[in-house]
Amino acid sequence: MTTDERLTQIERVMLAQAERLTRLEGRSNESMIDKQSIPDAVATLERDGDCYLWVVSQCPICGEKHTHGGGELDGDPRSHLSHRVAHCVGIEPPGGYILVEAGE
């Protein structure tokens, strides 16, 4: 075996290791994203005077009750279901969640 051939073999092994590391890193990055993924907040629709109100009875972040505006009665309150900033007290930075309608 010539020196060149040996080098090529070492390079190949190193390349394979680098690829494996990159894959492992990719996996750990994915699980980081999983941990930081946005939780769902189950909300029920209520009427508050002339407006709809989405009531999160148990916040997935702090466990408290929060309310979010659902728009006017002649509008579609479900258009207000989306990513919202959680109204948690004393949690900095404020988290967020996806409002989802209860029973879905």
User: Which residue number, 81 or 86, has a Cβ lying nearer to Zn ion?
Assistant: 86
Please pick, from the candidates 88, 96, 98, 100, the single residue that binds Zn ion as defined by CB under 5 A.
Answer: 88
- Residue 42 is a binding residue for Zn ion (CB under 5 A): no
- Which amino acid, 47? R
Spell out the residues 6+ positions from residue 100 whose beta carbon is closer than 8 angstroms to its own.
Answer: 40, 41, 42, 43, 81
CA-nearest of 98, 103, 55, 54 to 76 is 54
User: Which residue number, 71 or 96, has a Cβ lying nearer to Zn ion?
Assistant: 96
How many residues bind Zn ion, per CB under 5 A?
Answer: 6
- Residue 62 is a binding residue for Zn ion (CB under 5 A): yes
- Residue 56 is a binding residue for Zn ion (CB under 5 A): no
Per the CB < 8 A criterion, the answer to whether 88 and 95 are in contact is: yes
Residues that bind Zn ion (CB under 5 A): 59, 61-62, 64, 86, 88
